Amino acid sequence: MDMETSEKLQGSGVLQLFASLLTPHSPCTAKVANIIAEVAKNEFMRLPCVEAGLIPPLVQLLNCKDQELLLQTGRALGNICYDSHEGRSAVEHAGGAQIVVDHLRSLGSSTDPASEKLLTVFCGMLMNYSNENDALQAQLINMGVIPTLVKLLGIHCQNSALTEMCLVAFGNLAELESSKEQFAYTNIAEELVKLFKKQIEHDKKEMIFEVLAPLAENDAIKLQLVEAGLVECLLEIVQQTVDSEREEDIAELKTASDLMVLLLLGDESMQKLFEGGKGSVFQRVLSWVPSNNHQLQLAGALAIANFARNDGNCIHMVENGIVQKLMDLLDRHVEDGNVTVQHAALSALRNLAIPVVNKAKMLSAGVAEAVLKFLKSEMPPVQFKLLGTLRMLIDAQVEAAEQLGKNVKLVQRLVEWCEAKDHAGVMGESNRLLSALIRHSKSKDVIKTIVQNGGIKHLVTMATSEHVIMQNEALVALALIAALELVTAEKDLENAKLVQILHRLLADERSAPEIKYNSMVLICALLGSETLHKEVQSLAFLEIVSKLRSHENKTVAQQASLTEQRLAVDS
């Protein structure tokens, strides 16, 4: 119906007349409902339909048995609800949704064409009713619409119109967190995979993908999808599209490989596919890393990072030469600056470096050198992973920590990144790596390099971090500096106001016990410097420390006694 006709109808008062014609037993009711459905296709006619009081009688008609009447009524209500807040509110108020959900249930098993057409219209009506409206979607979920729709999909998988309607409905509902719990109790995974295997057209696959992606965020559903054989479908798509230049193939390859990585984010689904490192899926994904396709390289590296989420897997992968594959991949991207691939490969290396037994192996394979090639990167995500990887690698590795700690280029870059105010992650990791170089090497040369390049002030600032773990790492590094190279660092420690900061940490009741303990150890170490000693004397340390002698933590109390003796002797 065109705009002009609709406008004339609106002006003529006919809509109000329609309300009185919508009676269950009148022979023309279905025709009236059909006209309303056509009128409501025009956006500006939806509100007048509501205002003319058409919704309550239409909802009443949903209680009829006549299929043609139900069909036209469903269309009319669906069109009035389309993108119309008022239409939806009126249908909600009249209780229309529950009646439609009940129809879907009672009609669900009928496969004759008329019933399937009605089911399609009713699905569409619920879609228009709840689209992008969390409250109404939640209401439908509470009415139990999810198991009902999953059942429909199973029974009517031959009917493409109805199947598409179900898929669009799932896509909408799956965005809601609460829906995923409900989906996990159905056999949605099995039904979607079955449907997916039948599809040839790109658009249909795309529709199913759009439902799979939000559902696969739920760990229980990840496992169900793996068990239903989705992974094999995804691997097949990758194989078919990897060498294609067609736009839709490139899109499909991306979607399939992204979804593969998402499935590996669940612990159970990941472990099932790893199969002790013997799994065919694991092997296939590994073969993506050396491919020439950037999207596959990215997905392959991310997949390894996801497989590398427990020590057993990490140890197995390092024993089987995966480190070399990742280093080769990084090498291919040193110059072109493909940030996503760099970031993914570094993430994988960082995870692999967590188990103690892997560190030395990875260091002797040259991982530190491979990672250092990215020091010149200006991309914070790459900087962040680079720092994390080095920090994992040098944990308790004396030689490596010493070698890296004497690397002036690295130390200069760390000091620069310690000031990256816009990137808290990079700033935090740089500080932590500076501290780690000192803590793990315990080397005078490393300390000298860090002092000469202006690193001390950052370690002192780090001692005031809001994270206890970082405060602690800073205090331990500073204590080593004070024990090994106090003369070299004295001026910088004074300028950074370390003594005042320690006074604050000890006086603050909220400081954790280990912070108090390490602050006192550091105070004792600083007494060896005349300048810092004077500063300690000028602040009332004795008072605070003697109070700490009765601290509930035994180690803190003991250190307080020792510190008090030192301060008393030196005062």
Residue 422 sits in the same domain as residue 468: yes
- Does 419 map to a domain? yes
End-to-end Cα spacing for the chain: 98
Mean pLDDT comparison of 86-90, 105-109, 155-159, highest-scoring range: 86-90
| Same domain, yes or no: 543 and 504 | yes
Among candidate residues 341, 394, 337, the one with its CA nearest the CA of residue 367:
394
Domain boundary among 420, 450, 483: 483
Q: Six-digit token pair at 139?
A: 């209401």
Residue 7 in this model has a pLDDT that exceeds 80: no
User: What is the rounded CA–CA span in Å between residue 155 and residue 569?
Assistant: 88
Q: 225 lies in a domain? A: no
Q: For residues 417 and 440, state if they share a domain.
A: yes
Say whether both 430 and 464 belong to one domain: yes
Closest by CA to 559, choosing from 470, 475, 460, 447, is 475
Does the pLDDT at position 281 exceed 80? Answer: yes
In a domain, 539, yes or no: yes
Is 144 domain-assigned?
A: no
Do 448 and 508 belong to one domain? no
Q: Is residue 428 situated within a structural domain?
A: yes
Mean pLDDT of 33-46: 91
Range(s) of the domain holding residue 536: 497-570
Same structural domain, 453 and 508:
no
Choosing from 440, 455, 483, the residue where a domain stops is: 483
Mean pLDDT over each residue of the chain, to the nearest integer: 91
Is the model's pLDDT at 214 over the cut of 70? Answer: yes
Which of 437, 458, 483 delimits the end of a domain? Answer: 483
Q: For 255-275, what is the mean pLDDT?
A: 90
Residue 463 included in any domain = yes
d(CA 186, CA 456): 59
Give the pair of three-digit tokens for residue 227.
Answer: 């068990």
Distance (Å, rounded) from C-alpha 41 to C-alpha 56? Answer: 19
Look up residue 569 and give its two tokens: 């002797």
Tell me: do 472 and 521 sit in the same domain.
no
Q: Same domain for 522 and 556?
A: yes
Residue range 494-531, pLDDT digits in tens: 999 999 999 999 988 888 999 999 999 999 999 988 89
In terms of domains, do 523 and 560 share one?
Answer: yes
- pLDDT cut 90: percent of the chain above it: 70
Residue 406 in any domain: the answer is: yes
Is 80 exceeded by the pLDDT of residue 2?
Answer: no
pLDDT interval class at 471 (50, 70, 90) = very high
| Joined tokens for residue 77 | 């209500």
- Residue 5 pLDDT more than 80? no
Establish how many alpha carbons lie within 13 A of residue 498's alpha carbon, considering only the half-sphere containing its beta carbon: 34
Q: How many domains does the chain have?
A: 2
pLDDT tens string 390-421 = 999 999 899 999 999 999 999 999 999 998 88
Q: DSSP label at 54?
A: -
Is the sign of the CA dihedral 499, 500, 501, 503 positive or negative? Answer: positive
Give the gyration radius of the chain's Cα atoms. Answer: 34
Alpha carbons 305 and 314: distance in angstroms, whole number? 9
Q: Is 386 a domain residue?
A: no
Closest CA to 455 of 423, 481, 483, 476: 481
Please, what is the angle between helix 339-352 and helix 380-394, to 10°? 20
Q: Are residues 448 and 513 in the same domain?
A: no
**Predicted structure pTM score:** 0.83
Same-domain status, 477 and 502: no
Enter the tokens of residue 529.
């410097």
455 and 501 share one domain: no
Rounded distance, CA 60 to CA 492, Å?
A: 82
